[in-house]
Chains A and B, each alone.
Chain A
Amino acid sequence: MKLVIDGRTVSAPEGSTVYAAARDNGVAIPTLCSHRRLAPYSACRVCLVSVKGRPGFHPSCSLAAVEGMEVTTDSAEIKALRRQIVELILSEHPSACLVCLEKKNCDEHKGTIRKVGETTGCVLCPGNKECELQEVAAKVGVDSVRFPAVFRDLEVKRRDPFFVQDYNLCILCGRCVRMCSEVRGASVISFVHRGPTAVVGTALDRSLAAAGCQFCGACVDACPTGALTERQVRSAGPAEEEAETLCPYCGVGCRLTAELRSGRLSAAVPADASPNEGQACVRGRFTLADAVNSPRRLLSPMVRKGGKLEPASWDEALAAAAEGLKAAQGQGCAMVLSGQASLEDLHALSKLGREVLRAGSIVSSMGPSILDGIAASGLPFPPAPSLADLAKASTVLVAGEDLAVTHPVAWISAFQAVSRGGRLLSVGSKDCRHDRHAAFRLKPRQGGEEAAFTLLAQALEGGSLSEACRSAGLPEDAVRGMAAELKADGPSVFIVGASLGSSKALSALLKLAALTKSAVLPLAEESNTRGLWTLLRGSGDAHALAGDLVAGKVRALYLAGPMSLPQDAKPGFLVVQDCFDGPSCARADVVLPAAAFAEAGGTFMNMEGRAQTAESALPLLVESKPDWWIASALAAKLGASGFGWTDRSAVRAELDAARVLEAPASVPAPAGPFAPRPSGTDYYRSLGLADASPDFRALRPGRKPSADGTGEGAAGRQDRVKDACRS
C-alpha cells in the first residue's frame, strides 16, 4: 500500500496505522499515550496529523492508513496545535526541567533540578532520565509554558511494595491502566473520578496489594513520566550500565536487561524480546537485585575444621572435598543439582557425578518435575508449544495452576489468546485468578481432577453423563459446554503445572489432550527444569535418595542444589555448593561458593524447549566461581581428565557435540513417581525471595519466612521431601 506522508510517497503494510507507517519510514510523529503493546488510545492528542480531503485533525495512532492517502504531519498549524497541547500537559506537570534558565548546568551536573518550588519544579521527579514527556516537549519545541501551573497536590502513595505512585506527575496517558487490563488481564487499576480530578487508582482507593495487584511492574515500565517509579531506583539513582541477562527463577526464561550501578546489579527490567516481549513478573522485575546482593551470599569456600566451618582457600577447600568424596566414590555417593543452574554448569557437574564420582544417583533438588510426571504416564510425549503458539490458540485449558501468580508471563500469552477471541477453560479444585476470564470453569473436589478430565473425554465421545457428573459433583452443562469448546476447530493448548492433583490426573489430562489433538505446555518450575531433565535422563530417584539418606545408605552427598535435608538424614560426607548460606551449610563438611546467574551467565532451556544463552553481566562476587569451574577444578583434584575447560563456551561446545540437547530419540525414564506440590518459584537456589526482599514478603503474607531463616522456598521443599519419604 502506498501513501504520501509530508509529500513523500512511502509504502506501508496493509492494516497499518498512519503512525506506524510514518515511523517505519523514518517520520517520527511525537506521541505520549501510544505504546507498542497497546491498542490505540488517542488520548494525548500529540500525534495529530491532517489528511487531505478530510476536515480537522486526526490522531495518527488510530488512523488507518489507506491507499493514496495524503498525510501532513508537520504543518505550521499542526505544530502550533501540538505545542499548545504539550503546554497544557505541562501546566499540571512540574516542568522546570524543561524551561528553567539553569537547565544546561543542571543537566550536566545533576540528574534533576532540585532548587525550584514544588508546584513547578522537579523536587517530586524521580529524575530517572526516562522521561518521555521531556523528550516530546523538546521535540515539539516547547520552551515556555504560557498557562499558569496547576498543582494537583495529591498524596504520594508509598503504601505498596516495590514502587511509588506519585500522580502529581501523571499525565493520564492511560498506559498503566491499559497495560494492566489489555496485556496482563488483571484490571487492578483504572481511572477514577472525572474532569480535572481524574486520576489513576483502584476501586475504593484500596492499596494495590489489597486490590489484587501482582506487582508485575508492567505499569512502571510503561509510564512515560516519573509517576510510577521503582523504589530501589528512586533511592539509588538511574543505571550507569546495562547488560542483557536471563531471569533465573521460573521456566518461562524471560529476557531481562540488568541495570548496573557501581558494578552491582541495581535493577532488572524486561527486554523487548521473545519470549517475554517486554513483560516480566514481580520476581524478575523487582527481586533480582535483592537476591544477587543478598547478605547471605557465600563469599569464600569453607572447610569444617574441628567441628567448625572456617573460611579456606579454593585449593584447600577443593582438596578437602576431593578427599572426602574419593572415599565414597561409587554407589554410596549421591549428587543433587539445581534446575536454576545453567546447562553448562549442569553438564559439568553431572559429568563429574557420573564419570568421576560414579554416583549412585544424581537427582534434581526439586525431585521429579512435571516432565517426569508426563514421562511416567507412558503416553507419547506431546511437543511443547511456544508461548507465541499459545497466544494464537483458539482454546486454552488451564489445569489447576494459578497461572497469573506462578507463571505470570505464560499467562500473558494465554490471555492474549483470550483477547483474540480464544476460549479459556479452567479445571481445578482451587480458585484461580484467571477464572474470571474463563468461558467454562470446572471445580472438582480436591483430588477430583482425574474424574473431571475423564468426564470431559466421555463427553467428547457422547453418551450419558448425568450419573458420572453427579458422583463427581460437577455440573453436567459445564462439562458438556467445555467438551463442545474442546471439540471446536482451531489449535488448542493445555497448560499443566506441578500442582495438578496426581499422576493419575495427569494421565487423564494427557489422554484428553491426545483425544482433542491439543498441544501440552508443561509449566517448568525452574529456569532450567527442562535442561536438567534432558541431561539427567532418569539418573536417579529423589524419593529413593531421601529414603537412603534417612536410612544412612549415603556415604557422601554432593549438594549442588538447594535440597533441605530432613532432620534425621545422615548424609555422610557433605559438600554444599550454593550461592547462599542456607541450613545445609550448617551440616556441610565443605562449602563451595557458586556464582549467581548474572555473574556466571550460561544457557538455559525454558519450558518451550528454547535454549537461551546469557553472557556474564556482572563481575564474580569475591571468591565465588561458576559451577562449571568448580566441577572442573574438583575433577582435576580427583585426578580425572576431560574436565580441562577454560571457559564456559568450551563446556557448551562439548555439550553440543554430544547432541544431548537435541530432541531425545526416546523419552527419558522418569526420576521416580511424580507427586503434586505447591508451585510458584519464589526462590533462587537456597534463597527464599521472602527472605531476600521485605517487599516480596509483604506481597505473599501467607508465606512467612521460617523461624530458622531458611526461607519458605527451602522450607516448602523440605516438606515435599518428607512427603516423598512417607509415600
Chain B
Amino acid sequence: MTSRLRDSAALEALRARVLEARKGFTHRVTVSSGTCGQAKGSGKLVSALRSAVRELGLEGRVSVTASGCHGFCDIEPVVLVGPLGVVYQRVDAGRARDILVETVQNGKVLDDLLYTDPRTGAKAAGTDGIPFYKAQRRVLTGANELVDPESVEDYLALGGYRGMAKALLTMKPEAVIAEVTQARLRGRGGAGFPTGRKWEFCRSSPGAVKYVVCNADEGDPGAYMDRSLLEGNPHSVIEGMVIGAFAIGASEGIVYVRNEYPMAVRNAGKAIARARELGLLGKDILGSGFDFDLRIFKGAGAFVCGEETSLMASIEGVRASPRQRPPFPAVKGLWGKPTNINNVETWANVPLILDRGADWFSGLGTEKSGGTKIFALVGKINNTGLVEVPMGLSLRQIVQDVGGGIKDGRPLKAVQTGGPSGGCIPASMLDIKVDYDTLAQAGSIMGSGGMIVVDDTTCMVDLANYFLHFTQEESCGKCVPCRLGTRQMAGILSRITKGLGEEDDIEKLESLAAAVKAGSLCGLGQTASNPVLTTIRHFRSEYEAHIREKRCPALVCKALLRFTIAADKCIACGLCRKACPVDAIAGKPKTPHVIAQEICVRCGACFEVCPPKAQAVVKSSGEAAGVRK
C-alpha cells in the first residue's frame, strides 16, 4: 500500500517504481473481461491462465490481466498476448495452458485461435491484421487493452494522472478551460455542446459551492460505450473529473451511474477509493491546495435520467422529471448550485487533452469537433462492437471498413444514429462525414453514439414504430406534447404496420412530429420525432406502400404478410406441416401442401423450415399477394 502522494515528485516516483517493477515481466496476457467478455466465460479463462502460470513456474515473468472490454463483441473472449501483439479469439478456458506453453514459452502462434476475416478468409495474428481494429483510432478504448480496472498502477504505467498533475500544479483554471476549448472537445452525450464553453459558463456562475457530475446513465438501446469506459478504465474518468472540477471551481463531484451496470458501479467505486488512498482525490490533491472528492450515485434506470435536469432531480431524491431551462444547470443546478454535467466519454477525453495537448487532440478530428468518437456498431453488420474512429470519418468507412460490411452480403438500407433520439441515414447518404453538424443536417444526431445498421430486411415503418414505442414508454409524462404526442404517433405507426393506415396518416404524423419537436420540454421529447421524420423523409414510399397497397416491402410487418406454397416447387416433405403451430397446412405425401390463409397466423415457421433446395414457401406482401385492404 502506497501512502498519500503529496506532490508531483511523489507521483512520478511511484510511476517510476511501477515501471521498474514491470521490467522483470517478459509477457503480459490480457483477457477482455468486460460485461460481454464475462458473459462468454472470460472469468474462467483468467483463472485458468493464472493457475497455468503458477504450474509452469512463470510467476514474476508472465502477468495475466483481466482488462476491460476490447470492443469486438463478436469474438469474445479475446486474449491479447503482449508484447507479441497476438490476438486470440473465442478462447475457451481449456486452451489457457496451450497459450502459455506454445505462444508465451515457445513463441508459436496458435493458428486455430486466430481471427479469420470472413471476406478474405485470411487469418490475422495481430490487431493490425484485423480490419475491425485496423480502421479504428483507439485513443480512449485502446487503454482498455492495457489496464486492469482495479489497478491504478496499470493506469499510471500508461501515463495516468500526468494530465491532472500538469493542470493542478502548473496551470490556472482559465488556462485549463482554454486548452479544452482549443482542443475542440464537444459533449459526447449527444448534443455536442463545446465542453470548454460549458465549463466556462459554470466557472463564471457566481457561487461558492459548485458541483461536477459524470453522466453515466447510458440508456439508448444498443449503446454501451460509456459502460465500457467506466468498467474498463475508471481512473481516466476520475482524472478527467478532477481536472474539470479544478477548472470550474467545484469541490464535489458525483458519478451518476445506472444500477444496471453493476461492474461499472463496482470498478468506479474501487477506483475512487484507491484514488482517495493515494491522495489523487480528497484534500490538497498532490499538494496543489485543491480539494475535490467524488462519490457514486446509483440511478434506478429511467431513460429520462440521462437528461441533465432529470438527472439532478434524481440525485436530489425527487422524481426524475426534467425542468424548463433556463436556468441552466451551470447557473442553478444540483441543490440550486452551479453544476457541470458531462458524460463518461467526455470526461475520459480530458486527461488526454491535458497530457498530450490541445493540438494533438484537435488534429484527430475535424475543423469543428476534435478527437475521436466511440460508436456502438450494431445491427445487420458483420463486426458488431464498440468502435472508436476519428471525427469526420465517413459513414461508409465505418460500416464497410470497421464493420466489415453487411451480414450475408445483403444490401445496406440505412444507418440509424443517435438511438431513439436520432434519425436514420439512407444508404444514398453513406458518404457523409460523421460529426455533430453533418449528422444534424441530415436530420439525425450524433447522440451518445449508437449506430444501428439495417439492411433490406428491415421495415422502416416498423423501425420508427419501435423507437416511438420506446420514447413513449420512457417519457416521464410531465409535458403534454411528449407524453401524448408520442403516444398518438406510436398509435398511428402501429396502425400503419397493421395495414390500417389511412390516407392522411403521413401528414398527421408530420404535423404531430413538428408539434412534439417544437413543444416538448426536454431533449427526450424534442428529439423523439426524429426517427419518424427521417424515415418519412427518406423512405416515404415504404409508408405509402403500407398505407395504400397494404404492403410491407421489407416483408416484416406481420399483418401484411402472406405465406403461400408454390405447388411446382413443393416436395411434400411435410416439414412445414409439422412446424405449423396452428395446423394451417394441409397436405399428404407426394401432394403439394397448401396453407389455409384463414387459419394462418403468419408466424413464418413454414418459411423457416422449408428446405433450401425446395424453397417452396413464399413470403409476400401487398394486394398482389392477396392481403386484404
Contact = CB atoms under 8 A, between A and B. Distances in A.
A85 B302 contact: no
Interface stretch (B90-98, B273-281, B288-296, B317-325): B317-325
B519 A81 contact: yes
Interface string B80-98: 0000000000000000000
Given A45-B520, A81-B518, A59 B324 contact: yes
Interface in B462-478: 472-478
A89 interface: yes
Interface string B281-321: 00000000000000000000010100000000000000101
Interface string B446-482: 0000000000000000000000000011111111110
A69 interface: no
Contacts of A40: 324
B308 to A, nearest CB: 15
Nearest to B484: A88
B487 interface: yes
A42 B475 contact: no
Given A148-B491, A194-B474, A195-B472, A42 B479 contact: yes
Contacts of A56: 518
Contacts of B323: 42
A191 B491 contact: no
Given A43-B479, A45-B519, A174-B478, A91 B473 contact: no
Nearest to A82: B519
B515 interface: yes
A594 to B, nearest CB: 50
B477 A45 contact: no
Please indicate which of the listed interface residues A42, A84, A190 has the most CB atoms of chain B within 10 Å of its own CB: A84
B326 interface: yes
Given A194-B476, A195-B477, A85 B519 contact: yes
B485 interface: yes
Given A148-B491, A194-B477, A81 B515 contact: yes
A147 B518 CA distance: 19
Given A146-B508, A195-B473, A196-B477, A43 B521 contact: yes
A417 B391 CA distance: 52
Contacts of B321: 191
A172 B518 contact: no
Interface residues of B, number: 31
A619 to B, nearest CB: 46
Interface string A162-177: 0000000001101000
Contact of A84 (B473, B491, B515): B515
A36 interface: no
Given A42-B521, A43-B521, A195 B483 contact: yes
A133 to B, nearest CB: 12
A194 B484 contact: no
Nearest to A198: B477
A43 B472 contact: no
B519 A57 contact: yes
Contacts of A150: 487
B511 interface: yes
B472 A89 contact: no
Contacts of A44: 479-480
Contacts of B319: 190-191
Given A45-B520, A48-B519, A88-B485, A195 B478 contact: no
Given A88-B484, A190-B319, A196-B487, A42 B474 contact: no
Contacts of B485: 88
Nearest to B323: A42
Interface string A78-94: 00010011001101100
Contact of B480 (A89, A148, A194): A89
A46 to B, nearest CB: 8
A45 B508 contact: no
Interface in A140-181: 146-148, 150, 171-172, 174
A191 B511 CA distance: 29
B488 interface: yes
A89 B484 contact: yes
A43 B491 CA distance: 22
B432 to A, nearest CB: 24
A300 to B, nearest CB: 57
A50 to B, nearest CB: 10
Nearest to A48: B519
A726 interface: no
B481 A88 contact: yes
B302 A194 contact: yes
Nearest to B320: A194
Nearest to B495: A148
A123 B474 CA distance: 31
Which of B302, B324, B511 is packed against the most chain A CB atoms within 10 Å?
B324
A194 B508 contact: no
A52 interface: no
Contacts of B473: 194-196
B338 to A, nearest CB: 17
Nearest to A86: B480
Given A91-B488, A146-B508, A191-B319, A85 B515 contact: yes
Contacts of B511: 84
Nearest to A199: B477
B483 A196 contact: yes
Given A57-B519, A62-B324, A43 B480 contact: yes
Contacts of A41: 324
Contacts of B488: 88, 91, 147-148
Interface string B318-357: 0101011010000000000000000000000000000000
A71 to B, nearest CB: 15
A659 interface: no
B324 A194 contact: no
B477 A85 contact: no
Chain B CB within 10 A, most for which of A89, A147, A194, A198: A194
Contacts of A100: none
A468 B488 CA distance: 68
A319 interface: no
A193 interface: yes
A64 interface: yes
A134 to B, nearest CB: 16
A172 B480 CA distance: 8
B479 A45 contact: yes
B483 A42 contact: no
B441 to A, nearest CB: 16
B483 A172 contact: yes
A45 B324 CA distance: 11
Nearest to A173: B480
B171 to A, nearest CB: 36
Contacts of B304: 194
A148 B495 CA distance: 12
Interface string A181-214: 0000000001101111110000000000000000
B487 A45 contact: no
Contacts of B480: 43-46, 85, 88-89, 171-172
Contacts of A197: 477
Contacts of B302: 194
B507 to A, nearest CB: 11
B481 A85 contact: yes
Nearest to A78: B518
A74 to B, nearest CB: 16
A172 B477 contact: yes
B521 to A, nearest CB: 6
Interface of B: 302, 304, 319, 321, 323-324, 326, 472-481, 483-485, 487-488, 491, 508, 511-512, 515, 518-521
9 residue pairs, one from A and one from B, having the closest CB atoms: A198-B477, A42-B324, A88-B484, A84-B515, A62-B324, A195-B475, A195-B473, A45-B519, A43-B478
6 contacts: A81-B515, A88-B484, A195-B474, A195-B475, A196-B472, A196-B475
Given A43-B480, A190-B319, A194-B475, 10 more contacts: A42-B323, A43-B478, A45-B520, A46-B480, A59-B521, A62-B324, A88-B515, A148-B488, A171-B480, A198-B477
